[in-house]
Amino acid sequence: MLIQDILAAKRDGQTLDSAMIREFVMAIASDQVGDEQIGAFTMAVYLRDMNLDETVALTEATRDSGHVLDYRALDLPGPVLDKHSTGGVGDPVSLVLGPWLAACGAHVPMISGRGLGHTGGTLDKLEAIPGYNVTPDHATFERLLRDTGVTIIGQSGNLAPADKRLYAVRDVTATVASLPLIVASILGKKLAENLDALVMDVKIGNGAFLANDDETRQLAMTIAEVARRAGTPTTALLTDMNQCLANSAGNAVEVRECLDIMTGKRRGGRLLELTRTLAVEALVAGRLAEGADEARRRLDHALDSGRVAERFAGMVAGLGGPSDLLDNPERYLAEAPVVRDVYAAHDGIVAAQDVKSLGMAVVALGGGRRRASDSIDHRVGLDSIATLGSRVDRHTPLARIHAANAEDAERVAEQLADCFTIGESAEVPPLVHDLLQ
Ligand code: URA
C-alpha cells in the first residue's frame, strides 16, 4: 500500500488495520518515509484519534521495529520484571526497586531515560556516581542481568528505533499530547524488553506529565489494557505527584537518599512506601509471591538482610562505578559548594507544593535540562523538602538548597518560597490513588 493512502485514511477518520499500521511503522524504522510523512501521520492521529485495536497495533509495531531482547540463552532462573514511571520530581524509585526485585529472585533489565523539563531522569541520577557507565556492551548487560539480577542502563540504538523518529517529529509538530501516541511510545520501548510482567507507575497531580487528572487516569487505563493485549501482563498504579516523592530532588542528593534506604539508615517515608507497594505488585505478577502479604514479607526480609544494598553495589561495580560506594558514599558523591536553608515567611502547615515549579528550581540550579543537549551538574538540588501536612517555622526550613554558587542559591531561594502554600491545615492526597489491572 502507498504511504499516502495510509495517511489519507487516517486523515479522513478511518480506522487503520494492523497491517497498515505495521507497514507504516516499519517504513519509519527503515528510513523509507520522510519526516514530513511522519508529521502528517502524527497530526492525523492527534486530530482523529485511534481506537484500542489501532493503539495495540501501533504499540506492537513500535516494539517490533528493532531488537526485542531475548533471554533464552541466559537460562534465567527467575522472571524478567520491570517498572516504568511517567516521570516525577524527587522520584528515584528505580534505584531502589531494581535491586530490591533482584534480591527477591527477579531479573530486571531496566532501560531508563534522562530528565527533561521539570522531571528527573534515572540515568542522570546514576551518572552522579563516578564511573557508572549507562551504555555497557551487550555481554556486560547479560552478565549483570544473570548474576546480579539488575542492570539499569540507557536505551541502545536499535531498541524500538521507530519511536526515536516518531518522538522527535511529535516534539516539533505539537503532537506529543495524543493518548495513542503516548501509549505506543512508552510501551513500544518497554515491551521490547520482553518482560514477564510490568508495573507502570502513572503519576497524577500537579507535577505529573499530563496536567489533567482525567486524562492521566485514562492514560493509566489504556496503558494497562494495551500492554495486556500486546502480551505483557501489566498493572498500572496511579500514584500521587502533588508533592515530591523523596525528601530530595536532584541527582547526587537523590542517590544519597536511596543509599540511606538500602543500607537501613533511613526508614519510613513516602519513597520507601511507594517503592515497596510497586515491588509487591511486581513480585505477585511475576509469581515470586502468592499474594501481597507474602510479597511484603519477602521484601522486608531482603531489605533488612542487606541483600538489596548488595545487589545495588554489584550493579554499580559491574558498570564501572566504585566497589565501595555504599561504605564511603561521601568519598564519591560530590557535594555542592553552597548549601543554604530556605524558610517560610510565616509559621504554619505545608498545605500545597507546586511540584512542577520545584522541578524547575532544580533545573535552574543546573540539575536538569531545558533542552536534550544541555549538560547537568550532578551536585546541585534540594533536600529536606517539607512534606504536605508538616509544620514549618523559623527552625524548620521549606527546603535546603545545594547550589554551585551563592548567586544561584539566592535566585532559587526566592523562587522556592513561592513553591509552597503555607496554611493552618492540609489535606494530604493518598500516595496511591488507584490500581488498574
Ligand atoms: N514518554 C515517552 O517515552 N513517550 C511519550 O510519548 C511520552 C512520555
CB atoms within 10 A of CB 19: 12
Q: Could you say which DSSP state residue 210 is in?
A: S
Q: Which residues pair with 423 in a beta bridge?
A: 349
> Active-site residue among 64, 82, 91, 201?
82
> Active-site residue among 85, 112, 151, 216?
85
Write out pLDDT tens, residues 328-384: 999 999 999 999 999 999 999 999 999 999 999 999 999 998 887 889 999 999 999
CA–centroid distance, 420 to ligand 1, in Å, is: 28
Grid coordinates belonging to 369: 535540562
Interhelix angle 18-29/3-11, rounded to 10 degrees, is 120
Do 305 and 353 fall within a single domain? no
Residue 11 has pLDDT above 80, yes or no: yes
Mean pLDDT, the chain, rounded, equals: 96
Helices and strands counted in the chain (H then E)? 17, 11
Do 18 and 85 fall within a single domain? no
Domain of 380, CATH number, reads 3.90.1170.30
In a domain, 28, yes or no: yes
User: Catalytic site residue 190?
Assistant: yes
Do 349 and 250 fall within a single domain? no
Do 89 and 204 fall within a single domain? yes
For the chain, percent of residues with pLDDT exceeding 90: 95
Q: Which of 62, 176, 219 has the most ligand 1 atoms within 8 A of CB, as the residue to mutate?
A: 176
Do 347 and 220 fall within a single domain? no
CA–centroid distance, 187 to ligand 1, in Å, is: 9
Give, in degrees to the nearest 5, the angle at Cα 108 between 187 and 279: 85
> Active-site residue among 55, 151, 185, 248?
185
Do 156 and 217 fall within a single domain? yes
Do 404 and 353 fall within a single domain? yes
Measured from CB, residues less than 6 Å from any atom of ligand 1 are: 167, 176, 182, 185-186
Asked whether the CA dihedral 112, 113, 119, 125 is positive or negative, the reply is positive
Residue nearest to atom 6 of ligand 1 (CA): 182
Do 371 and 286 fall within a single domain? no
In a domain, 292, yes or no: yes
Domain of 120, CATH number, reads 3.40.1030.10
Average pLDDT over residues 60-69: 97
Identify the domain boundary among 290, 318, 346: 318
In a domain, 375, yes or no: yes
| Whole-number Å distance between alpha carbons of 107 and 197 | 11
In a domain, 64, yes or no: no
E strand or H helix at 47: helix 35-48
Helical H segments across 104-212, by residue range: 122-126, 138-147, 161-172, 179-191
Write out pLDDT tens, residues 263-308: 999 999 999 999 999 999 999 999 999 999 999 999 999 999 999 9
Identify the domain boundary among 272, 293, 318: 318
Residue 157 has pLDDT above 80, yes or no: no
Q: Could you say which DSSP state residue 15 is in?
A: P
Grid coordinates belonging to 337: 559548594
Residue 116 has pLDDT above 80, yes or no: no
CA–centroid distance, 211 to ligand 1, in Å, is: 14
In a domain, 32, yes or no: yes
In a domain, 118, yes or no: yes
Domain limits for position 348: 335-423
Write out pLDDT tens, residues 76-96: 999 999 999 999 999 999 999
In a domain, 258, yes or no: yes
Grid coordinates belonging to 148: 546480579
Do 347 and 313 fall within a single domain? no
Do 99 and 241 fall within a single domain? yes
Model pTM score: 0.96
Do 28 and 111 fall within a single domain? no
Q: How many domains does the chain have?
A: 3
In a domain, 150, yes or no: yes
Do 34 and 84 fall within a single domain? no
Q: Which of 182, 190, 191, 198 has the most ligand 1 atoms within 8 A of CB, as the residue to mutate?
A: 182
